[in-house]
């Protein structure tokens, strides 16, 4: 069965420090992975997806199939990065549909 694990519930870093939010997954197929961000009481927003290999708001994430990881990184944290971050795995659920399985999330707190 597919599973997404985010081992840290809370991560506190100082402004300007590097950030790494960990995500590990287990999935029998070929995974598609995403990072979503949720600012306080706002909607879930797509931050980035592994197939795009893009950098959004300074964040990057590389899919490591050998380690089954998709860690989110940013070299210099900003106060506005404080939010909940969810790693998610896309799975084909048949009948022409798919769904996301979310990890439990990591709350990033950037200390001024």
Partner 1 sequence: EPEVTQTPSHQVTQMGQEVILRCVPISNHLYFYWYRQILGQKVEFLVSFYNNEISEKSEIFDDQFSVERPDGSNFTLKIRSTKLEDSAMYFCASSETKFPGGSGNTIYFGEGSWLTVV
Task: Please report, as ranges, the residues that interact with partner 1 according to CB under 8 A.
Answer: 32, 34, 36, 42-46, 49, 51-52, 86, 90-105
**Nearest distance, CB of residue 28 and partner 1, angstroms:** 14
Give residue 97's Cα distance to chain centre. 22
**Three-class SS state of 65:** coil
CA distance 107 to 38: 9
Q: Which is nearer to partner 1, 76 or 92 (CB)?
A: 92
Task: End-to-end CA distance of the chain: give it in Å, rounded.
Answer: 41
**Nearest distance, CB of residue 73 and partner 1, angstroms:** 21
**Nearest distance, CB of residue 51 and partner 1, angstroms:** 7
């Amino acid at each position: 069965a597919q599973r997404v694990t985010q081992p840290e519930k809370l991560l506190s870093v100082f402004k300007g420090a590097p950030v790494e939010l960990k995500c590990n997954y287990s999935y029998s197929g070929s995974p598609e992975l995403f990072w979503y961000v949720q600012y306080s009481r706002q909607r879930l927003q797509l931050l980035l997806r592994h197939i795009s290999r893009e950098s959004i708001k300074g964040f990057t994430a590389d899919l490591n199939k050998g380690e089954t990881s998709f860690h989110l990184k940013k070299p210099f944290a900003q106060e506005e990065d404080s939010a909940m971050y969810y790693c998610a795995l896309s799975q084909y659920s048949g009948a022409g549909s798919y769904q996301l399985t979310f990890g439990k999330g990591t709350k990033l707190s950037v200390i001024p």
